[in-house]
Amino acid sequence: MKKLVNNAEDVTVEQLKGFGLAHDEIDVHFDPNYVCVAAPVQDRVAVVSGGGSGHEPLHGGYVGLGMLDAACPGQVFTSPTPDQMFEAGKAVHGGRGILQIVKNYTGDVMNFQMAADMLRDEGIEVRNIIIDDDVALKDSLYTAGRRGLGTTVIAEKVCGAASLEGYDLDRLAALCKKVNIHGKSMGMALTSCTTPQNGTPSFELPEDEMEIGIGIHGEPGILRDKIRSADEVTEILTDRILDDEAYTRNLSEWDPAKGDWTDVEVTDITLQKGDEVIAIVNGMGGTPLSELYTVYAKLADLTARRGIRIVRSLVGNYITSLEMAGVSITLVKTDEEILRLYDAPVKTPALRWGM
Amino acid sequence: MTETLTTAVTAPMVRAWIERSAKVLADNRAYLTELDAPIGDSDHGNNMDRGFKAALEKLPEGDDIGAMLKSVAMSLISKVGGAAGPLYGTMFLDGAKPLAGKTSLSADELAQFFDDAVAGVMKRGRSDVEMKTMLDALAPAARAFREEAAKGSDIRAALKAAAEAARQGMEATIPMQAQRGRASYLGERSIGHQDPGATSSHLILQAFSDVVEEAAQ
Ligand SMILES: Nc1ncnc2c1ncn2[C@@H]1O[C@H](COP(=O)(O)OP(=O)(O)OP(=O)(O)O)[C@@H](O)[C@H]1O
Ligand SMILES: [Mg+2]
């Protein structure tokens, strides 16, 4: 293992220290670990997210004006614990409740639920909305369901803007759900990655092979194949997204009337001719931008041929797996509301426009 | 040797259980992490070791079994993270709820503890047996405990039966295809591997049986 690490056990804390020193508008708290906007949240819904470390800039890099109010980083590739979200939630609660945006990984879902239960005991209203946009996984009944990928970034951006516009908690939760069912992603890896704790790659990938349908924790994907050209790889990912059929599954949500968690049936949209989308061509941490733009060129061609228009795009590292080389593509179908909120000003370490 | 019946589990036995669990999980740290490599993310042993070390460190003095188990739950919830933290945390938390203030437990109370613990894991994990998880060890163990205890109220015999049921349940996860947790992403590729969570559950139940057995001798 060759890494800029002092002590494998301290990587999360050490990066948080640097993060706080580098960004004045963000406060960093330790024990439990969380980062939050330095300016108090007043009279609007607070938007909070979190997950394992190693996906930077997700989530801490998206804390700031017009996006997240707080983020809770776990150990590398391990979900954070409820005490982190509990303290972060109390710190940023602005009197109008908290929206927690949660990627669909078993650990994340359960830890955020426990945190929501703890915050509710303090009299704070909380809604958890799950992002599960990974089209690589077909089935939800016999698996933990689709994983959360790039749509998470768009959900955080759009919901942060909506909070500033004054959306109440119910409306904000509904919006977040809409972004989730409008978003589809799929990823692939050229190389594996190594967590500092384990010191060896999480899977072996020979020089001439690629792994298709990966998540973001260095877990293997759904299939392995000989490496192909950029165009061919882009086509595999894009076709799977464009051809994805309406996906129906049960997601766990808090039911305020019942006062308990319940399963709610949710069905994705399918992408149609005439749709307008936000596109992300996302590096996994170790992919040169030049390669990502090569992928983008093919993506633009493939979508145009299907009559789908990319109206906004992000090309770069937005949700990563340490030093992994590879790419994931995300398409989120927009409408007037999503596009307006996406275009609203944002000022975070990793995403900044309009101000 | 005359066999004496064990009709109550005392606070020192519960304390010894937590101590033994922490030791056994530390001893098996590498093994559990190895089991988690092919069907998970190679961290289960690290997670359990870290969690039970913290649980042991924070274990309150005194004879209140409910308070002890609740403290274990809170340590696991705040120190383990991942999937196993909330699941084992909920298991101890829900199991301990009716035990507040109790300084010893009858066979009936222990049977209830196991049932509540299993129900808690099922609810938190939205899971059931046969999904290749810790429940495949825990649920048969809870059932075996209740059945054996009903025969003659001997807690030693009942815990032995529970640990044996957990061992069988753990082995039964090998041919299963995972339907929950990280392993489920692998689909059929999860078949042929023993579930790490079921293995740690067996270790914890075996530890309980062992310390009660030793206390009786
Ligand atoms: N929904 C569930 N219900 C019951 N048990 C589960 C569920 N999901 C996972 N498990 C159990 O958890 C074990 C894995 O625990 P582990 O400590 O490795 O967490 P993890 O899934 O790797 O989470 P993370 O990577 O976020 O740390 C599995 O072997 C399985 O027994
Ligand atoms: Mg694991």
Question: What is the 3-class SS of A73-114, one letter each residue?
Answer: EEEECCCCCHHHHHHHHHHHCCCCCEEEEEECCHHHHHHHHH
| pLDDT, mean of residues A38-60 | 97
**Per-residue pLDDT tens digits for B30-64:** 999 999 988 988 889 989 999 999 999 999 999 99
**Per-residue pLDDT tens digits for A282-327:** 999 999 999 999 999 999 999 999 999 999 999 999 999 999 999 9
pLDDT at B2 over 60: no
Per-residue confidence (pLDDT) for residue B153, from 0 to 100: 75
Which pLDDT band, with edges at 50, 70 and 90, does B217 fall under? confident
Question: And the tokens for B99?
Answer: 């035990």
pLDDT at B1 over 50: no
Host domain of residue B189: 9-215
In a domain, B63, yes or no: yes
Question: And the tokens for A64?
Answer: 């700031």
| CATH code at position B179 | 1.25.40.340
pLDDT at A353 over 90: yes
**Per-residue pLDDT tens digits for A93-127:** 999 999 999 999 999 999 999 999 999 999 999 99
Q: Tell me which long-range contacts B114-119 makes (C-beta under 8 A, separation of at least 24).
A: B114/B138, B114/B141, B114/B142, B114/B145, B114/B146, B114/B162, B115/B142, B115/B146, B117/B91, B117/B92, B117/B142, B118/B91, B118/B142, B119/B94
pLDDT at A249 over 50: yes
Active site residue A59: no
**Per-residue pLDDT tens digits for B175-208:** 999 999 989 988 888 999 999 999 999 999 999 9
Per-residue confidence (pLDDT) for residue A201, from 0 to 100: 86
Residue A98 phi, psi dihedral angles, 5° rounding: -130, 135
Tell me which amino acid residue A161 is: A
- B178 has which bridge partners? none
8 Å CB contact of A81 and B187: no
Per-residue confidence (pLDDT) for residue B3, from 0 to 100: 62
Which pLDDT band, with edges at 50, 70 and 90, does A137 fall under? confident
Tell me the Ramachandran region of residue B2: left when phi exceeds 0, alpha when psi lies from -120 to 50, beta otherwise. Answer: beta
In a domain, B173, yes or no: yes
Per-residue confidence (pLDDT) for residue B43, from 0 to 100: 85
Per-residue confidence (pLDDT) for residue A297, from 0 to 100: 98
Active site residue A217: yes
The rounded distance, in Å, linking the Cα atoms of B75 and A191 is: 36
**Per-residue pLDDT tens digits for A338-350:** 999 999 999 999 9
Question: And the tokens for A144?
Answer: 């933990």
**Per-residue pLDDT tens digits for A170-206:** 999 999 999 999 999 999 999 999 999 888 888 889 9
Q: Contact, A69 vs A93, CB < 8 A?
A: no
Chosen for mutation from B32, B39, B41 (greatest number of chain A CBs closer than 10 Å) is B41
Per-residue confidence (pLDDT) for residue B96, from 0 to 100: 96
Per-residue confidence (pLDDT) for residue A181, from 0 to 100: 98
Per-residue confidence (pLDDT) for residue A222, from 0 to 100: 82
Tell me the Ramachandran region of residue A164: left when phi exceeds 0, alpha when psi lies from -120 to 50, beta otherwise. Answer: alpha
Kindly list the domain boundaries of chain A, sorted by start residue.
13-182+250-269, 186-242+272-333
Q: Is B105 helix (H, G, I), strand (E, B) or coil?
A: strand
**Per-residue pLDDT tens digits for B103-144:** 999 999 999 999 999 999 999 999 999 999 999 999 999 999
Give helix B29-39 / helix B11-27 axis angle, nearest 10°.
Answer: 60
Average pLDDT, chain B: 94
- Distant-in-sequence, close-in-space partners of B1: CB < 8 Å, separation ≥ 6: none
Among residues A55, A59, A93, A182, the one annotated as catalytic is A55
Domain A186-242+272-333 has CATH 3.40.50.620: no
| pLDDT, mean of residues A77-85 | 94
Per-residue confidence (pLDDT) for residue B171, from 0 to 100: 98
HEC profile of chain A: CCCCCCCHHHHHHHHHHHHHHHCCCEEEECCCCEEEECCCCCCCCEEEEEEEECCCCCCHHHECECCECEEEEEEECCCCCHHHHHHHHHHHCCCCCEEEEEECCHHHHHHHHHHHHHHHHCCCCEEEEEECCECCCCCCCCCCCCCCCCHHHHHHHHHHHHHHHCCCHHHHHHHHHHHHHHEEEEEEECCCCCCCCCCCCCCCCCCCEEEECCCCCCCCCCEEEECCCHHHHHHHHHHHHHCCCCCEEEEEEEECCCCEEEEEEEECCCCCCCCEEEEEEEECECCCHHHHHHHHHHHHHHHHHCCCEEEEEEEECCCCCCCECEEEEEEEECCHHHHHHHHCCEECCCCEECC
ipTM rounded to 2 decimals:
0.85
Per-residue confidence (pLDDT) for residue A142, from 0 to 100: 79
In a domain, B2, yes or no: no
A residues 217..256 contacting B (CB < 8 A): 217-220, 222, 252
In a domain, B100, yes or no: yes
Domain A13-182+250-269 has CATH 3.40.50.10440: yes
Average pLDDT, chain A: 95
**Per-residue pLDDT tens digits for B57-92:** 999 999 999 999 999 999 999 988 889 999 999 999
This prediction's pTM: 0.92
Pocket test for ligand 1, best of B35, B170, B180, B190 (most atoms within 8 A of CB): B180
**Of B43, B47, B185, Cβ closest to residue A137:** B185
pLDDT at A27 over 60: yes
B200 Cβ below 6 A of ligand 1: no
Q: How many domains does the structure of chain B reveal?
A: 1
